[in-house]
């Protein structure tokens, strides 16, 4: 028989039992959509989550926080800079205060940081790229303010502008009046201050120590930037040895790696869950083909009497399964493409759409197709092995 004959006879057979065939096609389609969405969400989540986590945690750095009784000073920064493999070290000083608005007192976090490292802290390529208006460089009491501080997110009303004064009452009673030199867009960088709704003021360290702490130079955190991640563990050990007694040393790179492993495990779990649907579809195909063989036993006997070989019967039944699977896979891929553009999950303040790459499309279509063919092989083999005489006598 020619290949076209197999296709024609398979289509004719499926047309006669279109109800069961449509159900099988829908089952395959659902399996394809479930698998593609699981893989797509996993891949998107991995990309977004890990990238944001790395930006948020400064993944090529080591963080040092003081103990209960100690403090971090410029001397500690100088010590850390001597460690081989360290690119630079900088300190971050944080204080809190209150600003008074028409809605009442709001907590604001004041961050003293070297302007060179402000992009690193914000998780952006440069301050200019995150600047909505004004200048990118804080100076003296001239500060940069975060989006949530100069904009009322709920009403969309602008609260501050470049040149505006910003009176802040520090926790403890002292008052400082800043003036705004720059206004930042929303960023997703490292957030060490516990400020409510991310209301931040960024200023130079020297100005911070002069106006906020009264000249006392101690840091809330020290950040050790590494230029050779292969020596991360070794550098971490040296940092622990040089840090003041009782200090806490964090390794964000290791944390990011652990979270990445968690995301991989989550993606595998989601794929396993979707595989259950694929297995159910394969069982549907197996059951459908088994019933079809029983119902068409006499037809199989007639075909063999007309000269059809066992191989022809086997291919004919497998062709029916292949057509069902191919139609379901095609519809599933098309639906997945549409769903990936419509469905999204809110992650890190962004709309995360499931990825739908050619690789995901291929895996999502091929795996259900192969499983269905394997499921159909057993009843197809049984049909091919029927004795034509016994099949013609079957009632």
Give me the pLDDT at residue 193, please: 39
Q: What is the dihedral of CA 321, 324, 326, 332, to 10 degrees?
A: -140
Rounded Cα–Cα distance for residues 109 and 122 (Å): 14
> Which residues fall within 8 angstroms of residue 381, CB to CB, at 6 or more apart?
314
Nearest C-alpha neighbor of 109 from the set 190, 183, 198, 172: 198
Interaxial angle between packed helices 18-57 and 310-342, expressed in degrees from 0 to 180 and rounded to the nearest 10: 40
pLDDT of residue 102: 65
Residue 330 tokens read as 């095609």
| Gap between the terminal Cα atoms of the chain | 28
| Residue 177 pLDDT | 94
pLDDT at 139: 92
What pLDDT is attached to residue 186? 79
Walking along the chain (395 residues) 10 residues at a time, the average pLDDT comes out as: 68 72 82 82 70 59 84 93 91 92 81 91 85 93 92 83 92 88 77 56 95 91 84 88 89 67 72 73 77 75 79 83 88 90 71 82 86 85 76 61
> Which two structure tokens, joined as six digits, stand for 105?
């007192």
Tell me, what's the pLDDT at 196?
A: 41
pLDDT of amino acid 195:
38
Q: What is the pLDDT of residue 192?
A: 42
CB within 8 A of 196, min separation 6: which ones?
106, 107
Assess contact for 391 and 304: CB atoms under 8 A.
Answer: yes
The encoded tokens of residue 314 equal: 């086997």
Q: 57, exposed or middle or buried, with CB in 10 Å at 0-12, 13-18, 19+?
A: buried
Any idea which residue has 């930037």 for tokens?
A: 225
| C-alpha to C-alpha distance for 95 and 74, rounded to whole angstroms | 18
């Amino acid at each position: 028989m020619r290949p076209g004959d197999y296709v024609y006879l398979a289509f004719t057979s499926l047309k006669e039992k279109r109800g069961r065939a449509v159900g099988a096609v829908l089952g395959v389609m659902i399996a394809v959509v479930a698998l593609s969405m699981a893989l797509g969400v996993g891949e998107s989540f991995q990309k977004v989550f890990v990238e944001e986590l790395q930006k948020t945690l400064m993944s090529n750095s080591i963080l040092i926080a003081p103990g209960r009784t100690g403090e971090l000073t410029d001397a500690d920064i100088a010590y850390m800079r001597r460690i081989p493999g360290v690119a630079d070290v900088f300190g971050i000083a944080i204080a809190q205060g209150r600003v008074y608005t028409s809605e009442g007192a709001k907590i604001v976090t004041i961050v003293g940081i070297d302007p060179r490292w402000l992009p690193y802290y914000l998780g952006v390529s440069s301050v200019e790229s995150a600047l909505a208006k004004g200048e990118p460089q804080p100076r003296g009491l001239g500060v940069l303010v975060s989006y949530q501080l100069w904009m009322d997110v709920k009403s969309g009303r602008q609260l501050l502008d470049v040149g505006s004064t910003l009176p802040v009452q520090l926790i403890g009673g002292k008052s400082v009046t800043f003036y705004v030199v720059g206004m930042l867009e929303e960023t997703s960088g490292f957030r060490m201050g516990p400020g409510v709704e991310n209301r931040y003021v960024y200023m130079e360290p020297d100005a911070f120590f002069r106006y906020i702490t009264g000249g006392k130079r101690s840091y809330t955190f020290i950040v050790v930037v590494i230029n050779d991640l292969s020596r991360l563990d070794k550098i971490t050990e040296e940092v622990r040895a040089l840090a003041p007694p009782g200090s806490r040393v964090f390794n964000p790179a290791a944390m990011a790696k652990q979270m990445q492993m968690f995301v991989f495990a989550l993606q595998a779990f989601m794929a396993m869950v979707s595989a259950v649907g694929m297995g159910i579809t394969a069982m549907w195909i197996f059951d459908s083909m088994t019933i079809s063989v029983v119902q068409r036993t006499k037809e199989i006997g007639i075909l063999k009497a007309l000269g059809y070989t066992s191989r022809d019967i086997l291919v004919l039944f497998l062709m029916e399964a292949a057509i069902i699977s191919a139609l379901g896979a095609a519809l599933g891929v098309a639906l997945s493409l549409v769903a990936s553009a419509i469905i999204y999950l809110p992650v890190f303040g962004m709309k995360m759409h499931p990825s739908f790459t050619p690789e995901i499309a291929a895996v999502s279509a091929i795996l259900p197709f192969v499983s269905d063919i394997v499921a159909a092989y057993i009843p197809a083999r049984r049909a091919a092995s029927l004795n034509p005489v016994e099949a013609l006598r079957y009632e």
